[in-house]
């Protein structure tokens, strides 16, 4: 009795999904697969209920599966034999309520007709539907399509032949038709599209799988429809939309993804190399920043404005220093102009087994106004501990300009509502009758102006640490670039800008250093941590 119960439990826990995929591969239709899978499971359960206890249970289950599939295939063959001598015009797409055996066969034939119409391209499909299902004459079709009569007759003949051939073959859908693959995206931009592009499109599940399937795999609409299990009328429409939005390129009748997607294998190789040096690099960055800060403090200089404590300033300073060495002597990337006023580039990443670390992004002021001075405000957005939710996603140019005026001591020139908004965000604070910033404020780019104020010992130590950091970052970059360039298709590898973009986004990441610094105790997120850590302004 216990053995039988164990087998029933194993059947439920271990075989349901496996049998479904077996059936789906054999039938090519998810509904038929569900029915056939249920029939197999019930057959095994009935046998166990009657006292059958197989010695080799896996072999027994799969033998039942093969037997039941053989019966299904035989019925399918008989159905197709009946259909082979018939004309497509014999079948109408309508719902029936009768459940006799003949009606079941007829429903099978109607389902096949529906299926094949879904996988014939629109120029054939519209003519077939018009002639056979809507009872339109060739003259009517000529009038509605604007095609010559000879073209309509030719397409009608070829389409009918393709339709019957398809109805007599077994369709096998691709894995992504029933098991969509996950992909993440990294967006690099100076302006989103007016309709939220690229994120408004990249968050769409079907688009993700189209982009994955078409990556380095030029495919026709028909091939993509079959691989993804999406009816061709919908697929054609979505493909043209993705071309218009510049996510796909179309060469003749084939579509291909127009941005790099980094494979999981490449990402995992790079992550392994990064992990070996993360602790060392983070420690060097911590020592570099502490040495420079202590030397500046000794010289009576506060290079980041002095409006927030050093413990809060560390969050931004660590990321600024990280970015400096990560991009040291690397070429700049340009972003292409996109529809609806967008200017962005995307890199995709297949999901991996790499442990997830909270992302560190960087935002600033958007919707730049030409009638206002430039504002060089930035904010690192730390997903760690939900820190990113403490401040707004972006500042408007007006808000950024008001923040700049406060940092310059010109708060009187600010609109009162702007000051109130900035105070609500935590970026400024009431100080008597005036306002002061509560973020890092740098007087110009870089810290070179303070170098001569440091004592010689501090200069030598900073130089020593900087040399070690350049060497370590250079080692990681060289390895990462080698892996990525090997991973990329030739069309991206030969495009210097897109190749550099892929290399930048697949290399060492801010989040790795951030989490190590938290682990070291050098960064602390507690009740004393300022609300706006990560925000900084260049005057």
Same domain for 235 and 121? no
The fraction of the chain above a pLDDT of 70, given in percent, is: 85
Q: Which among 84, 118, 151 is the end of a domain?
A: 84
Asked if residue 511 belongs to a domain, the reply is yes
Which of 407-411, 508-512, 524-528 has the weakest average pLDDT? 524-528
Instruction: Select from 217, 257, 226 the least CA-distant residue to 239.
Output: 257
The verdict on residue 94 lying in a domain is: yes
CATH of the domain at 9: 1.10.1740
Distance CA 104, CA 262 (A): 47
Residue 163 falls within a domain, yes or no? Answer: yes
Mean pLDDT for 111-131 is 67
Number of domains in the chain: 4
Alpha-carbon distance of 297 to 423, in angstroms, equals 28
User: How do residues 4-21 score in pLDDT, each as one tens digit?
Assistant: 677 777 777 777 777 877
Could you identify the residue written with the tokens 């060739």?
A: 138
Does 535 fall in a domain?
no
Question: How far are the Cα atoms of 164, 206, 235, 539 from residue 172, in angstroms, in the given order?
Answer: 17, 19, 17, 62
Q: Does the structure show a pLDDT above 60 at 415? A: yes
For 356, the token pair is 């997830």
| 291-307 mean pLDDT | 92
Query: In terms of domains, do 13 and 131 share one?
Result: no
pLDDT band at 84 (very low <50, low <70, confident <90, very high): very low
The CA radius of gyration of the chain, in Å to the nearest whole number, is 32
- Please tell me the distance from the alpha carbon of residue 214 to that of residue 397, in angstroms, as a whole number: 39
Pick from 160, 89, 149, 150: nearest CA to 124: 160
According to the model, what pLDDT value does residue 146 have? 86
Please say if the pLDDT value at position 104 is more than 70: no
Do 426 and 501 share a domain, yes or no?
yes
pLDDT band per the 50, 70, 90 thresholds, residue 93: very low
List 348's β-bridge partners, or say none.
185, 261
Compute the mean pLDDT over every residue in the chain, rounded to the nearest whole number: 83
pLDDT, residue 94, reads 44
- Whether residues 195 and 222 share a domain: the answer is yes
Cis peptide before 19 (omega within 30 of 0): no
**Residue 405 shares a structural domain with residue 298:** yes
Residues 105 and 74 in one domain: no
Residue 452 confidence (pLDDT)? 87
CA distance 267 to 435: 47
* Inside any domain, residue 532: no
| Domain closes at, from 29, 64, 84 | 84
pLDDT of residue 142: 87
Residue 231 lies in a domain: yes
Between 69-78, 142-151, 183-192, the lowest mean confidence (pLDDT) is in 69-78
- pLDDT for the residue numbered 203: 84
Q: Which domain holds residue 245?
A: 175-258
Q: Is residue 282 part of a domain?
A: yes
- Do 118 and 186 fall within a single domain? no
Domain end among 218, 240, 258: 258
Q: Give the integer Cα–Cα distance in Å for 110 and 105.
A: 9
In angstroms, rounded to a whole number, what is the distance separating the alpha carbons of residues 248 and 267?
23
Percentage with pLDDT > 90 across the chain? 41
**Please, are residues 382 and 533 in contact by the beta-carbon 8 Å criterion?**
yes
Higher pLDDT, 462 or 89: 462
CATH of the domain at 213: 1.10.10.10
Give the pLDDT score at 164: 65
Nearest to 226 by CA among 123, 115, 112: 115
Say whether both 303 and 445 belong to one domain: yes
Confidence of residue 141 (pLDDT cuts 50, 70, 90): confident
Q: Are residues 51 and 149 in the same domain?
A: no
pLDDT digit string, tens, across residues 382-398: 999 889 888 988 898 99
Domain check: are 319 and 436 in the same one? yes
Going by their DSSP bridges, the two strands 535-538 and 440-442 should be labelled as parallel
- 71-75, 248-252, 464-468: the lowest-pLDDT one: 71-75
Q: Do residues 219 and 143 both lie within one domain? A: no
Distance between alpha carbon 342 and the CA centroid of its chain, in Å? 18
Q: Is the pLDDT of residue 98 over 50?
A: no
Closest of 252, 251, 261 to residue 208, by C-alpha: 261
The model's pTM is 0.66
Higher pLDDT, 188 or 76: 188
Same domain, yes or no: 64 and 113: no
Q: Between 316 and 129, where is the model more confident? A: 316
Q: Name 33's bridge partners.
A: none
Of residues 427 and 151, more confidence is placed in 427
531 part of a folded domain: no
CA 335 from centre of chain:
18
């Amino acid at each position: 009795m216990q053995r039988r119960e164990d087998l029933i439990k194993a059947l439920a826990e271990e075989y349901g999904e496996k049998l479904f995929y077996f059936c789906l591969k054999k039938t090519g239709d998810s509904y038929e697969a569900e029915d056939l899978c249920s029939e197999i499971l019930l057959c095994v359960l009935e046998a166990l209920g009657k006292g059958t206890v197989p010695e080799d249970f896996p072999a027994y289950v799969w033998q039942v599966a093969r037997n039941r599939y053989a019966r299904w295939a035989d019925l399918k063959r008989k159905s197709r034999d009946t259909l082979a001598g018939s004309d497509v015009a014999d079948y109408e797409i309508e719902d029936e309520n009768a459940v006799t055996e003949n009606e079941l066969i007829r429903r099978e034939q109607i389902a096949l007709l529906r299926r094949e119409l879904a996988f014939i391209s629109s120029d054939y499909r519209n003519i077939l539907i018009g002639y056979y299902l809507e009872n339109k004459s060739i003259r009517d079709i000529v009038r509605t399509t604007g095609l010559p009569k000879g073209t309509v007759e030719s397409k009608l003949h070829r389409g009918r032949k393709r339709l019957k051939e398809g109805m007599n073959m077994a369709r096998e859908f691709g894995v992504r038709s029933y098991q969509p693959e996950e992909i993440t995206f990294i967006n690099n931009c100076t302006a989103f599209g007016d309709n939220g592009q690229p994120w408004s499109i990249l968050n769409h599940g079907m688009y993700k799988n189209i982009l994955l399937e078409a990556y380095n795999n030029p495919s026709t609409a028909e091939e993509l429809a079959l691989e993804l299990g999406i009816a061709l009328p919908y697929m054609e429409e979505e493909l043209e939309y993705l071309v218009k939005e510049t996510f796909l390129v179309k060469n003749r009748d084939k579509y291909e993804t127009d941005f790099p997607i980094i494979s999981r294998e490449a990402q995992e190789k790079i992550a392994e190399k990064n992990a070996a040096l993360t602790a060392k690099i983070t420690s060097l960055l911590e020592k570099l920043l502490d040495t420079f800060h202590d030397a500046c403090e000794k010289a009576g200089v506060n290079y980041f404005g002095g409006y927030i404590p050093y413990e809060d300033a560390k969050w931004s300073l660590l990321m600024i220093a990280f970015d400096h060495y990560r991009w040291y002597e690397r070429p700049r990337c340009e972003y292409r102009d996109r529809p609806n006023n967008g200017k962005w580039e995307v890199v995709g990443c297949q999901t991996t087994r790499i442990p997830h670390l909270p992302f560190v992004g960087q935002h600033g002021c958007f919707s730049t106004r030409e009638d206002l001075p430039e504002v060089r405000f930035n904010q690192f957005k730390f997903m760690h501990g939900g820190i990113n939710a403490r401040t707004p996603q972006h500042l408007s140019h007006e808000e950024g300009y008001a923040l700049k005026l406060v940092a310059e001591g010109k708060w009187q020139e600010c609109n009162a509502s702007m000051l109130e908004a900035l105070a609500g965000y935590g970026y400024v604070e009431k100080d008597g009758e005036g306002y002061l910033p509560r973020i890092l404020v740098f007087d110009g780019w870089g810290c070179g102006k303070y170098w001569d104020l440091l004592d010689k010992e501090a200069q030598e130590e900073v130089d020593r640490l900087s040399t070690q950091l350049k060497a370590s970052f250079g080692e990681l970059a060289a390895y990462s670039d080698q892996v990525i360039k090997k991973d990329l298709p030739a069309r991206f590898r030969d495009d210097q800008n897109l190749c550099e973009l892929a290399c930048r986004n697949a290399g060492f990441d801010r989040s790795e250093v951030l989490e190590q610094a938290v682990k070291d105790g050098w960064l602390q997120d507690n009740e004393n941590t300022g609300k706006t850590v990560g925000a900084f302004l260049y005057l």
